[in-house]
Amino acid sequence: MKEEFNIISNLIEENTRVLDVGCGNGDLMKFLQENKTKDIRGLEISKEKVQNCLSKGLTVIEGNAESDLKQFPKSSFDYVILSQTLQAFLNPELVINELLKVGKKVIVTIPNFGYWRVRLQLLFKGTMPVTENLPHEWYNTPNLHMCTIKDFYNFCSSKNIKIFKSIALKKSRISEINKSNLNYKNLDSHLGIFLIES
Amino acid sequence: MNKNIDTKKIIISNPLKLDCGKEINKFPIAYKTYGELNSEKSNAILVFHALTGDQYVSGKNPITNKDGWWSYVVGENKPIDTNKFFVICANVIGGCMGSYGPSTINESTGKQIGTDFPIITINDMVNAQYELIKYLEIEKLFAVVGGSMGGMQVLQFVANFPDKAKLAIPIACTSSHSAQNIAFNELGRQAIMADSKWENGFYSNYKLNPDKGLAVARMAAHITYLSEKGLQEKFGRKLQDRDSLRYGFEADFQIESYLRYQGSVFVDRFDANSYLYITRAMDYFDLSKQYKGNLSDAFKETKTKFFVISFTSDWLYPTSENREIVIALNSIGADVGFVEIESDKGHDSFLLDVPSFLKTLGDYINSTYKVINERRI
């Protein structure tokens, strides 16, 4: 978690306007507030988590990214962050489009379904993968649209979404993803972090 | 209504131009304060009351001898902690607890003003209370807070005085009174005016009180403050002090007895004309219309931080209407937080012991106070 926060924080310029979509209990918001910018908002669907955030004094709105991002004007945030939530939406493509409208830049992090530990479980055990990063069973997972680093990379190029920076994370090791190492990074990383722009 | 009450009162000498076109001057505002104003005058919270509320937010209400209407929220060690904050609450104009209203005595005639009182609006109420803030020499409030009609006043206050509050918390309210809400208010007014003792609003001249009509108005309104689930769970079809139906029109059911009781205690503390005037003010409230149909424009000038709260079972001021406020604020990039609190207590949730509401509200106010003080805005 800490590494992901650090990477995201390093992608963000100081004193900019940030929206954290699916902000959970506000841990990333707090981290960014202490390290980067005071001007940060959150959107979260769970009442309980929204209340936790508000209790900490964070500015969070209860709402659903699929329907409630519309209320923000175009380019009203310098950065919009979607941390490990994309796979849980009914319509991830719509959400990405909304994020790109609301934010000048968008940071998306995805748990990589192409990670070798994930692949091995399906290949050898023949069961849906359960890992540290993807802890749910198939019958109770909130994840509806799992994807791999390569899937997301290809998605961006097919939709003409500019990738400014793509970073792979394995445990605490950080590396850049590019076209030539894509297949390797897709196998060897548990998390992908993308800085994109429409 | 005109009993001796332990409250402070000031006479506003600045003339106040009302929305109806009339001007009032040298009018009284009754208010009460709790806690102490700190030396920087940075800890003041103005609480706005709802339709039938008054300045007795906390502690014992000297009129009813019951706890103040927001005792769960305001007081020592409560979410709005009076050990820390200086809380001010004024009776709205149009009210009957000492501020200028239809039961105020006209000095030239020695009689109550009655329906010669001008029609007032939420805007007028807020402008009158701003005079009190000036009188108390508070340059900037830490927060303006209120539920229901109090929430409408919060919105109007920030629209009128964009740099006078650091934080605004409108709760269970709307930016524009809906047809359904106008309909219920009209029902209440018609009940009062249909009472033969109303005498076109001059009942006090005849030593009368349209208490039957006012009680019916309160009973009807009280239903709208609850939820179907809450009513069903609390009362169901339970009978009142009897084992079987009596085949008559007495209060067989507990819910009937409860409503009758609510009606009867209300008439002892509230003036029928005030009920007419204040419900009218609510009906006239349409903040977006004041800004040519664009609610966002009401808040364009402000840096005030907002926290909007609604309740799941509130069908009088539903979440959708509270959300419209959030949407209008977001569309201009204002600093706004929002949560819908789970509760089956209906619109009344904001007045009751709803732990997740009280905790979230208290934590939010306290952590925001800390942040704002640290930043010394």
Q: Are residues A61 and B337, on separate chains, in Cβ contact within 8 Å?
A: yes
B196 is catalytic: no
List residues of B whose CB lies inside 8 A of any A CB: 305, 307, 326-327, 330-333, 335-342, 356, 359-360, 363-364, 367-368, 370-371, 375
Nearest to A57 by CA among B323, B81, B366: B366
Mean pLDDT for A18-43 is 96
Mean pLDDT for B45-56 is 98
Q: Which domains does chain A have, with CATH numbers?
A: 2-111+148-197 (3.40.50.150)
Written as six digits, the tokens of B262 are 């609510």
Q: Residue A103 pairs with which residues in a beta bridge?
A: A77
Between B53 and B372, name the one with better pLDDT: B53
Confidence of residue A129 (pLDDT cuts 50, 70, 90): very high
Q: Which domains does chain B have, with CATH numbers?
A: 8-178+286-375 (3.40.50.1820), 182-279 (1.10.1740.110)
CA of B324 vs chain A CAs: smallest distance (Å): 10
Q: Are residues B360 and A58, on separate chains, in Cβ contact within 8 Å?
A: no
Confidence of residue B373 (pLDDT cuts 50, 70, 90): confident
Annotated active-site residue in B211, B347, B348, B349? B347
Q: Which of A47, A58, A71 sits opposite B330 (nearest CB)?
A: A71
Nearest to A118 by CA among A155, A151, A69, A76: A151
B347 is catalytic: yes
Q: Are residues B360 and A54, on separate chains, in Cβ contact within 8 Å?
A: yes
Residue B308 and residue B325 in contact, taking contact as beta carbons nearer than 8 Å = yes
Residue B170 and residue B311 in contact, taking contact as beta carbons nearer than 8 Å = no
Annotated active-site residue in B124, B252, B314, B344? B314
Work out the number of other CB atoms within 10 angstroms of the CB of residue B65. 7
Q: Residue B168 pairs with which residues in a beta bridge?
A: B144, B306
Please list, in sequence order, all residues whose beta carbon lies within 8 angstroms of the beta carbon of residue A138, skipping any fewer than 6 positions away.
A128
List residues of A whose CB lies inside 8 A of any B CB: 17, 38, 41, 47, 50-51, 53-63, 71-73, 76
pLDDT score at A134: 87
Q: Which of A38, A41, A56 sits opposite B367 (nearest CB)?
A: A56
Report the distance separating Cα B299 and Cα B288, nearest Å. Answer: 10
Residue of A nearest to B307 (CA): A59
Q: Are residues B338 and A63, on separate chains, in Cβ contact within 8 Å?
A: yes
What pLDDT digit, counting tens, does each position of B324-351 carry? 999 999 999 999 999 999 999 999 999 9
Confidence of residue B212 (pLDDT cuts 50, 70, 90): very high
What pLDDT digit, counting tens, does each position of A47-79 carry? 999 999 999 999 999 999 999 999 999 999 999
Q: What is the DSSP string of B253-297?
A: BHHHHHHHHHHHHHHHH--HHHHHHHHHHHHH-BHHHHTTT-GGG
Which of A33, A46, A54 is the best mutation test for B, with the most CBs of B within 10 A?
A54
Report the distance separating Cα B159 and Cα B149, nearest Å. Answer: 15
Mean pLDDT for A87-105 is 96
Amino acid making up residue B123: N
CA of A18 vs chain B CAs: smallest distance (Å): 11
**DSSP classification of residue B111:** E
The rounded mean pLDDT for chain B is 96
Q: Are residues B330 and A60, on separate chains, in Cβ contact within 8 Å?
A: no
Written as six digits, the tokens of B56 are 């007795």
Written as six digits, the tokens of A53 are 């955030």
Written as six digits, the tokens of A60 are 């969070």
Written as six digits, the tokens of A74 are 């175009």
Q: What is the DSSP string of B293-331?
A: T-GGGGGTT---EEEEEEETT-SSS-HHHHHHHHHHHHT
Q: Are residues B338 and A41, on separate chains, in Cβ contact within 8 Å?
A: no
Size of interface A-B (CB pairs under 8 A): 61
Q: What is the DSSP string of chain A?
A: -HHHHHHHHHHS-TT--EEEET-TTSHHHHHHHHHT-S-EEEEES-HHHHHHHHHTT-EEEE--HHHHGGGSPTT-EEEEEEES-GGGSS-HHHHHHHHHHHEEEEEEEEE-TTSHHHHHIIIII-S----SSS---TTT---SS---HHHHHHHHHHTT-EEEEEEEEETTEEEE--TTTHHHHHHH-SEEEEEEE-
Nearest to B12 by CA among B91, B68, B82: B91
Mean pLDDT for B158-167 is 98
**Residue written as tokens 């507030």?**
A33
What pLDDT digit, counting tens, does each position of B103-126 carry? 999 999 999 999 999 999 999 999
Residue B5 confidence (pLDDT) above 70: no
Annotated active-site residue in B58, B148, B274, B349? B148
Q: Which of A55, A61, A71 sits opposite B364 (nearest CB)?
A: A55
Between B101 and A132, name the one with better pLDDT: B101
Residue A126 confidence (pLDDT) above 80: yes
Work out the number of other CB atoms within 10 angstroms of the CB of residue B176. 17
B310 is catalytic: no
